[in-house]
Amino acid sequence: MTTSRPAAGGGRWVDVDPDRLTRWVDGFRERHGDYAQRPTDDALVLAAFDGATAALHPPPGAPLSADLADFVEAAQASRRIGLLLARKASVAVGVADGDRLVASKVDSSYVQSRTAAGGWSQQRFARRRDNQAKAQARDAAELAVRVLLPVAHKLAAVVCGGDRRAVDAVLADPRLAPLRDLRTERLLDVPEPRHAVLVDAVSAARAVSILVRDPDS
């Protein structure tokens, strides 16, 4: 799996499967020539002599290494991570061991859509929608308590995806404090959570995120 998206401030983010990382680095060398390795606070930077750079960010739960060989080895190591995907009407919670999803729960519920009416009707629908969203967050938190909390001490990280506000509402449950401590900055861009989406999220959560800037960027 290799995906690419524009990066704020120039360049692009490339997500690379750990097993393809060595091949990707070889391609970077072929395109830009030899490079020097330079560790920073959160990445290992490959600075090519033509001016191109590639900042390799370790996958969630993996340590940051100052040497490329050690970085690749750490990225490819099997880790257990928790997954929490949430949007307005659906939630998917799972545990991945390496590249395998070993436990999962998915739930969905109807949340009232916005109405164009005004006045008391608008306020009534807004209250109903708010109550439904709160109930959904409570139900989602229950799933996280059942699936993730018992194995929290074995998790290297918790990776979230979907809508940030929905995820925050779930993790606001006081019982999930151990999961909040494991939460990574990475927020996966996923559609409405379903089991198939959760399976795909395992690969996205394990990927090495690389910020690439070409000489002219």
Domains and CATH numbers, the chain: 2-78+207-213 (no CATH), 80-205 (3.30.420.60)
pTM score: 0.85
Q: What percent of the chain has pLDDT over 90?
A: 76
Checking 37-46 for CB contacts under 8 A at 24+ apart, the result is 37/66, 37/67, 37/68, 39/64, 39/65, 39/66, 43/211, 44/68, 44/71
User: Any residues with CB less than 8 A from the CB of 189 and at least 6 apart, and which?
Assistant: 161
User: pLDDT for 7-16, tens place per residue?
Assistant: 888 899 999 9
Decide if pLDDT at 111 tops 80.
no
Decide if pLDDT at 217 tops 50.
yes
Decide if pLDDT at 112 tops 50.
no
